[in-house]
Amino acid sequence: MSELKNDRFLRALLREPVDVTPVWMMRQAGRYLPEYRASRGQAGDFMSLCMNPELACEVTLQPLRRYPLDAAILFSDILTIPDAMGLGLYFETGEGPRFRKPVQDAAAVEALEVVDPHADLPYVVDAVKTIRRELNGSVPLIGFSGSPWTLATYMVEGGSSKDFRRAKTMAFNEPEVMHMLLTKLADSVIAYLNAQIEAGAQAVQIFDTWGGALSGRAYQEFSLSYMQKIVNGLIREREGRRVPVILFTKNGGQWLEAMADTGCDALGLDWTTNIAQARQRVGAKVALQGNMDPTMLYASPKRIRQEVETILSEFGTGEGHVFNLGHGITPEVSPENAGVFIEAVHEFSAQYHRG
């Protein structure tokens, strides 16, 4: 494996000195880029794009050709694990993901097998190897997975949901069934992320998109405890370097201290949490990643630059900040505005890193 030419993303996650604040964007390989739309058209549909390692590599690299980003993220989907469990994932236009066989009772949960990533998701492992080779040490590669709770919500609801009525009813009425499901998912995520790390991922992020829909007690029981299990089960050193783990619970800003106690290396923040207050709360325990409102990218270049300056000044001097959006970039954003954002982070952050 070639030496990393730009490791500031990995260094920042470990709160080590960097020259400028590193930046990447959630969903940076996505529909806002015309070249991505062309590749998706070539693949035929979204899942065909995910399942073709060469095309997944191509779309992973597209934003890096345009922008001076400090990390690449594997192009895939959080629902690959439930799909590999045989639930029949498909995408309804305008409706998002759907499952033909939702998991709604104990018998359905008992029938599920823990995923073997090499047997069940070889296209993801192959994509990681291909991307890592093509990156040739330019920037680090991030692997990822959905959190067990987030995956469970899609599996029990049969797709997206506004109120998570079925998933929460299972959790509250039949907690033993939900815990059986979450245990199988956590074991699957551990195997899946470790396979990505062995294939070349140099950091991993757990996306807990729907943890913030739970009450504090329920979050601890049904989401955080399983992310803790995953953190405990991951390969944390590879190729002579630490493999940092980022936890991101959307709308989870009220639980940062408990999240930091898992032993992860960094916490992702959405835009509803003030980064200065978050830094005061978690101190030097973890790095922070975030957290500009993605819709700020619809504003003028001048306003985008102001927002970047503000967030950098709120974090202040010292190490341990990876700049990102507070959630994924949205499809209608102009690629030029994304470029303004990325360049502003590097331009304005140097002053905060003079040793």
Active site residues: 27, 31, 40, 77, 154
Angle, helices 335-349/301-315, rounded to nearest 10 degrees = 40
Q: How far apart are CA 300 and CA 341, in angstroms?
A: 11
Q: How far apart are CA 138 and CA 257, in angstroms?
A: 34
Identify the helix (H) or strand (E) that includes residue 140: none
Q: Which residues are annotated as a binding site?
A: 27-31, 77, 154, 209, 327
Neighbours of 15 (CB within 10 A): 18
Q: Which residues are annotated as a binding site for substrate?
A: 27-31, 77, 154, 209, 327
Q: How far apart are CA 241 and CA 203, in angstroms?
A: 10
Q: How far apart are CA 97 and CA 51, in angstroms?
A: 16
DSSP letters spanning 230-252: HHHHS--EETTEE--EEEEETT-
> What DSSP state is assigned to residue 115?
P
**β partners of residue 204:** 143, 245
CA dihedral sign, ordered 161, 166, 172, 174: negative
Neighbours of 237 (CB within 10 A): 9
Determine contact, residues 149/214, Cβ cutoff 8 Å. Answer: yes
111: left (phi over 0), alpha (psi -120 to 50) or beta: alpha
Identify the helix (H) or strand (E) that includes residue 193: helix 175-199
**β partners of residue 325:** 292
Assess whether the previous peptide bond of 291 is cis (omega < 30° from 0): yes
